[in-house]
Structures are given as structure tokens and as C-alpha cells.
Structure 1
């Protein structure tokens, strides 16, 4: 999510994002703990065969190595005028009047960009003087995410990964499907069904979960199938194959971050009441936008059994509110203070409960831990707004749909083909 937030900001400000890689990054870290290694085979000291080496520098394979490298890098950047993000500790910021320089670190991969080109050059020179770096130019591929930067915006996709997993599971000639799950499909434990290879099933789910980093259109279907990884049956495997058939039909679908869109935080929340036929728990869905840029989304089965659709919607809204608060705090590092963020909800009763500060008999059954959304509303951190069910894009994350409705939601949520 931090990467999508970084790229959403870059598309709004209109600057290019670059990438560099640190060669042998872990070897730069210094170990503060006492760590010993035995003498490597073939290099034993014949005079002291029973002695061991004490490690001073980090080595690949040590649990302490990533932390040691991060300490080394962060200390270096802080020394040269950068400050660390308050929420995201892998984000480093440097400001020069109205210009800003952003650096996002993921182990030994670094992406960076600035509203001022000279700050980019200074950063590259600074890093190359201290570390052995390989500059990779404009960001095109990062952590499995394909990034296409244009003057009109930034496009994120994983079509190369889609092709790879279709080949991995021998689905190259599979028949395409127009949706990832059948409309209003009910998938249960199917205890009488035939067992399938659990390792194959889990491998397929793992590959699909990684793909949800840029594909909210398959999020609900993948999360639904992931619930049956303990004892998967033939019916569950058919549902997973249906997702692959859909990927065969739409391999290049991705997220579009337009440059001309405003930069304001808003969210959508929805719930599918008692959608699970086995335990009658509901599914929460939520998505957060910066303008028309979809930055974050969630799909999760609720931990309680809601006894009304209003309660299910209220629980979903509380989860969405928590994500909004987290994003508000993170966006402070980017120089934006978003108060009174709108959360769009399609249930009028839920909105009334949020706005009503009095605990009355009709809401006593709703767990107290979800009532913090009321406090957020009273503090004007969020605002709840009614949206028509047909226009609630979070609906895509709670259930399966027929083709016409599914296509509408995919386009509305912010996805497109390149």
C-alpha cells in the first residue's frame, strides 16, 4: 500500500519516479549483538581448530542483517538532512521550500522522486559516494508490480506475473471466463466432497493473493477460496480455476492513476449481510481513494455474527474508518492534512447510528469496540455520507455479480486495460 500511495502522489505532482539497487546491501550493516560463526569448511585454522569467528559486519543469512542494513542506511540519510516518516519508517523526506524529495526503501531496493530535478541528482550522487549502487533509471518494475509512467499519469499492472502463474499451473489453454466467480456463488465447506491436493491448492491461493496487490477485481473471489485451505475439496478447486479462467480473459487489467485528478482522501464501505451460508457471518469491503486513484482496499470476513444488516454495515464502516485514520496520519508526511474525510455508506441506518451520540436500546447489541467511529465523527476526523447502492464501488469486494454489474464496478473502481 505504501508503494501505491507513493505513486499516487507522484502522479498528482507530475514528477518521475526512479529506482536504484544497492549491491551487497547486507554487508554494509554493523552487528551490535554478539554473533559467532564456526570456521568455514576448508578454511579452518590448524593451530586453533576449535575456535570460532566473532561477526562484526552483517552476513547474508543472519536474522540481524536486514535490521543492521536499515540502521546503517537510515542513519546515513538522517545525517544528510532527511527525516523519517512518522507512520511509514521506510519513507524518508527532504523539503526545500516548496519542493519535496521522497525516498522509499524496501530492503536493498530504493525508489525515489522529487518535484525538483536537481534534488534527484544530488541524491544519486550522495548514495553512490557512500554505497555501491546500480542506477536503474525510471521505475518500470518494483516488487512484482509493473509501472508505466506517462505524461497523463501512472498505470500499475501485473500482466507479466499473470502470464507466469498461468504457465506455472498449465492453464495456457484454459477456457476464459468473464467473471472471477459465479453470480451470488455460495461456497461452503462441502464436507462430503472429494479431497484435492492441499499443496497444489495452497500454492494456487498464494499466487493469487500476491496478485491482489493490483487486482481488486479478484479480491473477493480469492479471499473466499482462501478460507478452505485446510481441507480443500473439488468444488473449491473449481472455484479457484474459475479465477484463473478470468485472468486468462483479462490478463492486462490494472490501476490507472491520472495526473489531472484532484488529491483528496475519500472512502467507500459496504457489507454483504450474512453472506456465508455455513456460519452466517458477513463480509466487510472497503476502499480508499486519493482523488480517482484507488490506493487501498480490503475484503475480510467479519469476526462476529451480525443480527441485522445495519450491524454488518456498521462493523464494515468501522474497519474502513480505521484504514482512513491510518492513511490520514501517513499523508501528513507528504504535507497533506485531511480532516473530515468522507466515508460513503449505502445504509441509512448505519449513518444514523454513527451520527447519534446516545447509546440507545437498538444499538446495544453492537460490540463496543466498533463504536470508536462515533468518536472519530465527533472529532471531525471523518464524515459519513449516503451513497446509492448502485454507485458504491466497495460492493465489488463483498460478493459475486453478473457480467453487466461486474463490468460496471470494475470500471468505476478505477481499473482499465492499458
Structure 2
């Protein structure tokens, strides 16, 4: 997608065939199981399936053009990679132009192998970037706990999993209960991540925003940054 150019309702533009638009979105959705590089763009276009306009159709066609130019990109799983579980979490504050809701992004790695990724519009309207990041971290934690339980069946114990977050305030809320008074407006269901931290099921670590690979799932970038993020998740020409 074009950076700094959000998709909007564009009510004055010409409408397009709803069935055609939905079939294109549905076809692209199948690809997100193996192509995380297009997940953010598809999720953004999928929000306009009720009344799609020409601008939305052009955005979908842009995804198809990208896929035609990069048909051999695939996730690479090296055999000699370490077998450690780690996760990355991030949020694009008020990134959804229709409702001003934030976009949650998360991805989980086994060593250098990307095994799971998420891009989802949050159900609440966050009052701050810290709240949006906190909700995103909670969603990432849920996925980490699920992977931990699954791997226990195979004899692997991944307790104290590292979750990398680029927001210092979010980490402070999880580590220090003194900040609890500032989080009363956040729904209770998101606070379980603090309990997971206290039980040492996860470990939250500050990461520089430039190295947070989950950015690929929550916003649009220029070509150089986009290619850097693709390489960072081991999406290579196979």
C-alpha cells in the first residue's frame, strides 16, 4: 500500500461490483496463510466490503500487481536455527480511518522461523498509544500461551518467553503495579498479561522501533523499509 495514504469511505466516488470486490478479497485472504507481507493491505481493504468504491478496488489491484511481481516469495525455515520461542508486539494508534480504532499486530518465532502472525483491528477505541500497545501486547501474550501449551505436548518447555515491545510505558505498566491507577479505564480482560508476567510465563523486553519486525503487519511503508521488514521475517525468493 502507499504510505501516508489511508483508505477512506470515499462516498463521492463510483461504486464497484460488490460480488467482484468480495471475491477478490476472499481469494487474497487465502494467501495470508503463507504471505504475511500482504496481510496488512488485505485487512485494510477488507474493511470496505459493504460499499466498495473505485479507490478501494485500485488498492486491491495494487496487491495483485505486487503478487505478480513477487510470485516466488516464501517463508524460509532453516534447519540449523535455534529452537527458542520469542514474540514481537506492536500497534498502530488510531490506524483504522473509519472508527479511529487501533490496529493490533503480533508475530511469533521459533528461533528465526516465523510460525504465527496476527493483524486485527482492536475492538475498543484506545485513549492513548500506551493503551493501544497494551491491548496489542495482551493479544500477543494470548497467542504465546497457546503456543506454549501446544509445545508442551511435544516435550518443549517455553516458559518465560520473550515478548519484544517498542513502547516503554506499556512495559512499565506490566512490571510495576504502581501504575495501576492509570489503567483503570482499560478493560479487565486485557490485564491478564500482568499476571502472566508475575508467573514468569513471559518476559517483556524493550526493542527499538526500527527493529520491531511486526511493523510489517500494522502500517504501510516505502519500498526500502518494506523490503527490510520482509527480509527480517525470512520471507525470501525460493
Q: Answer yes or no: same fold by TM over 0.5.
A: yes
What residue in structure 1 maps to residue 154 of structure 2? 334
Cα displacement (A) at 1:364: 1.4
What SS does the corresponding residue of 2:192 show, helix, strand or coil? helix
What residue in structure 2 maps to residue 229 of structure 1? 49
Say yes or no: does 1:250 pair with 2:61. Answer: no
Q: Normalised by the size of structure 2, how large is the TM-score?
A: 0.98
Say yes or no: does 1:295 pair with 2:90. Answer: no
User: Take 1:191 and 1:370, find their aligned partners in 2: how far apart are those partners?
Assistant: 36
What residue in structure 2 maps to residue 400 of structure 1? 220
Q: Which has the higher helix share?
A: 2
What residue in structure 1 maps to residue 60 of structure 2? 240
What residue in structure 2 maps to residue 413 of structure 1? 233
Q: CA RMSD in A?
A: 0.9
What residue in structure 2 maps to residue 391 of structure 1? 211
Please tell me whether the aligned partners of residues 86 and 161 of structure 2 are also in contact (alpha carbons under 8 angstroms): yes
What residue in structure 1 maps to residue 39 of structure 2? 219
User: Take 2:72 and 2:5, find their aligned partners in 1: how far apart are those partners?
Assistant: 25
User: Take 1:204 and 1:197, find their aligned partners in 2: how far apart are those partners?
Assistant: 11
Rg comparison, structure with higher value: 1
Measured against aligned partners, the alpha-carbon deviations of 1:157-189 in whole angstroms (never above 9, x if no partner) come to xxxxxxxxxxxxxxxxxxxxxxxx111320012
Which of 181, 184, 209 is residue 361 of structure 1 equivalent to? 181
User: Take 1:338 and 1:360, find their aligned partners in 2: how far apart are those partners?
Assistant: 28
Please tell me whether the aligned partners of residues 88 and 164 of structure 2 are also in contact (alpha carbons under 8 angstroms): yes
User: Take 1:344 and 1:307, find their aligned partners in 2: how far apart are those partners?
Assistant: 22
User: Take 1:199 and 1:390, find their aligned partners in 2: how far apart are those partners?
Assistant: 39
What residue in structure 2 maps to residue 204 of structure 1? 24
Q: Which runs of 5+ in 2 are unaligned?
A: none
Measured against aligned partners, the alpha-carbon deviations of 1:353-403 in whole angstroms (never above 9, x if no partner) come to 011234533211222110000000001000100000000000100000000
User: Take 1:251 and 1:269, find their aligned partners in 2: how far apart are those partners?
Assistant: 28
**Runs of 4+ more than 6 Å apart:** none
Measured against aligned partners, the alpha-carbon deviations of 1:302-343 in whole angstroms (never above 9, x if no partner) come to 111111101100000000000000000001111101100000
User: Take 1:231 and 1:277, find their aligned partners in 2: how far apart are those partners?
Assistant: 15
User: Take 1:360 and 1:256, find their aligned partners in 2: how far apart are those partners?
Assistant: 42
Please tell me whether the aligned partners of residues 182 and 400 of structure 1 are also in contact (alpha carbons under 8 angstroms): yes
What residue in structure 2 maps to residue 123 of structure 1? none
Work out the number of aligned pairs and report it: 238
What residue in structure 1 maps to residue 192 of structure 2? 372
More contact order relative to length (CA 8 Å, sep ≥ 6)? 2
Measured against aligned partners, the alpha-carbon deviations of 1:200-242 in whole angstroms (never above 9, x if no partner) come to 1011001100001110000000011011111111111000001
Say yes or no: does 1:346 pair with 2:171. Answer: no
1:107-256 to 2 correspondences below 5 Å: 181-256=1-76
What SS does the corresponding residue of 2:138 show, helix, strand or coil? helix
What residue in structure 2 maps to residue 324 of structure 1? 144
Q: Which runs of 5+ in 1 are unaligned?
A: 1-180
What residue in structure 1 maps to residue 133 of structure 2? 313
